[in-house]
């Protein structure tokens, strides 16, 4: 480190010091007295003790207390001249003093080069879940559901009701191999016990849950490239469209391009296979688009679009709607809003219409849903909570209620082309501990059109879930 020290100027400034206005030296007066308890005294004492300040010992320094900022800066300048002898600890202290007395050092015409960086020893870690290169995460859930299909009308025998216990474990990782490149992957293991679905043989080949339970599935694996405000994701990825009425947190195999518009606004579009995970024996390609406009920090409007690319695809053939006769046809447009009414009140609402060509006569194409939430649940904070109330009115061709592609925890309505559903529900979610949540909800539903369905009520639906994440 090189320095220029003009001693003549030092003497001149010392004589004239009392005549100089403090504003000439930025925010600090170099001749102001430094309080006895100020941290700089201890710091300079250390440098004197280690011998970096030539010509002084601790007794000499103590004799000078209390001193002006300018006086302390002279000690710093002397220490800077001997920085080649400084230890790593000394350099840290000296760099801090240089920053504190930078104005005084400039007055002295001591012009240091950039302080040499202090090399920090890497911290040893045994944390498998965050090793600096790959971040691991996961979650576990145990859920009990009564009438999980919710498509059985009252009056049927008891065996026609559905109940089950589900266990789910997911383990994922996130990595950034390059500044603009990231990888997200996850494996899911899900199992179902006490599964009474109303069929004589629970292992029937037509069981719609096959392939999703009792084995590990590739839940996510996507590569994302990002440049400035543009990102491109390729692979198996979870998508959220609009407020979630037509698609929410379900995997899609495909490609999505997203442009961040700033101010809580974005637009995205892409193509993918909707049957990425659960419906392994089928293929359902679709075009997907999504737009979000932030009005302010509390309110955003959304516009979602999903269109299947072929109408000849069918998924299951063991439901009352007989999808093998009424093909899977979607061209959904969803309009939504999410607004934080106050610190604890939130309102979400979304409407959807299905404009697909070739729908049967009398198809109920429209639907809507709203949720009012009260509370301030924080996932990482114990004893936080929220309660919510839902109301929905979903025509039989507006959404796929059985496929669970939507945000609602209600698969009633026999899926696409069945009876639809309308009704209300209540829920509560409570953090038992940090990252540990207990949630319960109940829904009372009935067919969208009783004349169409031939009955007026479903069995009530219950969900109880214990969740943990890390």
Task: Determine the Cα–Cα distance for residues 19 and 355; give it in Å rounded to an integer.
Answer: 83
Average pLDDT over all residues of the chain:
80
Angle at 227 between CA 223 and CA 230, to 5 degrees: 85
Which pLDDT score is estimated for 309? 82
User: In the CATH scheme, what is the homologous superfamily, with its name and number, of domain 134-469?
Assistant: Porin (2.40.160.10)
Task: Render pLDDT for 109-128 as a digit per residue (tens, 0 to 9).
Answer: 665 545 555 555 555 444 54
Which pLDDT score is estimated for 280? 58
Task: Render pLDDT for 251-291 as a digit per residue (tens, 0 to 9).
Answer: 899 999 999 998 889 999 999 988 876 665 667 889 999 99
Task: Render pLDDT for 131-145 as a digit per residue (tens, 0 to 9).
Answer: 557 899 999 999 999
Which pLDDT score is estimated for 375? 96
Which pLDDT score is estimated for 283? 75
**pLDDT, greater one: 253 or 212:** 253
Task: Determine the Cα–Cα distance for residues 182 and 174; give it in Å rounded to an integer.
Answer: 7
Q: Summarize the confidence of residues 409-427 as an average pLDDT.
A: 87
Spans of all domains in the chain: 7-107, 134-469
Handedness of CA 128, 129, 132, 134 (dihedral sign): positive
Which pLDDT score is estimated for 46? 83
Q: Summarize the confidence of residues 389-405 as an average pLDDT.
A: 88
Which pLDDT score is estimated for 6? 42
On the question of a cis peptide bond just before residue 285, with omega within 30 degrees of 0, the verdict is no
Task: Determine the Cα–Cα distance for residues 181 and 290; give it in Å rounded to an integer.
Answer: 23
How far are the Cα atoms of 79, 184, 333 from residue 174, in angstroms, in the given order?
A: 46, 5, 32
**pLDDT, greater one: 399 or 201:** 399
Burial of 7 (0-12, 13-18, 19+ CB in 10 A): exposed
Which pLDDT score is estimated for 134? 86
Band the pLDDT of 224: cuts 50, 70, 90: very high
Residue 424 has pLDDT above 90, yes or no: yes
Which pLDDT score is estimated for 19? 35
Conformation bin of residue 379: beta by default, left when phi > 0, alpha when psi is -120 to 50: alpha
Which pLDDT score is estimated for 156? 75
- The half-sphere exposure of 175 on its side-chain side, counting CA atoms within 13 A, is 13
- Predicted structure pTM score: 0.68
Per DSSP bridges, beta strands 299-308 and 134-146 are: unpaired
Per-residue burial over 399-426, b = 16 or more CB atoms within 10 Å of its CB, e = otherwise? bbbbbbbbbbbbbbbbbbbbbbbbbebe
The alpha-carbon radius of gyration of the chain (Å, integer) is 34
Q: Summarize the confidence of residues 342-365 as an average pLDDT.
A: 92
Retrieve residue 22's tokens.
């403090």
**pLDDT, greater one: 327 or 19:** 327
What is the SS3 assignment for 10?
Answer: helix
DSSP character string of 335-398? EEEEEE-SSSEEEEEEEEEE--TTPPTT---EEEEEEEEEE---TTSTT-EEEEEEEEEE-TTT
Which pLDDT score is estimated for 33? 74
Task: Determine the Cα–Cα distance for residues 423 and 371; give it in Å rounded to an integer.
Answer: 12
Which pLDDT score is estimated for 279? 60
């Amino acid at each position: 480190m090189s320095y220029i020290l003009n001693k003549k100027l030092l003497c001149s400034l010392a004589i004239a010091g009392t005549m100089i206005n403090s504003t000439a030296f930025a925010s600090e007066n170099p001749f102001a007295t430094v309080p006895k308890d100020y941290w700089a005294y201890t710091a300079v004492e250390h440098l004197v003790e280690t011998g970096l300040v030539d010509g002084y010992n601790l007794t000499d320094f103590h004799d000078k207390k209390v001193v002006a900022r300018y006086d302390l800066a002279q000690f710093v300048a002397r220490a800077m001249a001997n920085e080649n002898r400084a230890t790593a600890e000394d350099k840290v202290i000296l760099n801090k003093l240089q920053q504190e007395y930078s104005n005084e050092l400039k007055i002295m015409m001591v012009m240091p080069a950039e302080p040499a960086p202090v090399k920090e020893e890497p911290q040893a870690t045994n944390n498998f879940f965050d090793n600096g290169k790959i971040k691991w995460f996961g979650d576990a859930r145990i859920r009990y559901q009564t009438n999980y299909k919710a498509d059985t009308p009252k009056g049927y025998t008891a065996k026609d009701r559905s109940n089950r216990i589900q266990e789910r474990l997911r383990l994922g990782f996130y990595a950034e191999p390059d500044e603009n490149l990231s990888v997200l992957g996850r494996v899911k293991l899900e199992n179902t016990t006490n599964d009474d679905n109303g069929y004589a043989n629970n292992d029937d080949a037509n069981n719609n849950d096959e392939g999703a339970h009792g084995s590990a599935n590739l839940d996510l694996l996507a590569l994302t490239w990002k440049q400035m405000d543009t990102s491109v994701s390729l692979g198996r990825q979870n998508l959220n469209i609009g407020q979630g009425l037509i698609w929410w947190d379900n995997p899609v195999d495909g490609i999505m391009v997203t442009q961040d518009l700033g101010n809580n606004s974005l637009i995205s579009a892409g193509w993918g296979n909707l049957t990425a995970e659960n419906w392994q024996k089928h293929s359902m390609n679709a075009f997907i688009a999504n737009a979000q406009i932030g009005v302010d920090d509390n309110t955003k409007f959304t516009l979602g679009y999903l269109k299947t690319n072929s109408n000849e695809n069918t998924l299951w053939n063991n439901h009352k709607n007989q999808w093998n006769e009424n093909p899977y046809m979607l061209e959904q447009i969803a309009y939504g809003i999410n607004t934080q009414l106050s610190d604890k009140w939130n309102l979400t609402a979304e409407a959807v219409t299905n404009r697909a060509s070739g729908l049967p006569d009398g198809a109920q194409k429209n639907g809507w849903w709203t949720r009012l939430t009260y509370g301030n649940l924080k996932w990482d904070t114990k004893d936080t909570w929220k309660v919510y109330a839902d109301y929905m009115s979903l025509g039989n061709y507006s959404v796929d209620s059985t496929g669970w592609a939507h945000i609602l925890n209600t698969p009633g309505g026999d899926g696409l082309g069945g009876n639809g559903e309308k009704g209300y529900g209540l829920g509560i979610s409570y953090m038992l501990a940090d990252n540990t949540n207990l949630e319960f909800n109940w829904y009372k539903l009935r067919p969208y059109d009783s004349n169409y369905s031939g009955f007026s009520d479903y069995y009530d639906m219950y969900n109880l879930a214990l969740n943990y994440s890390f």
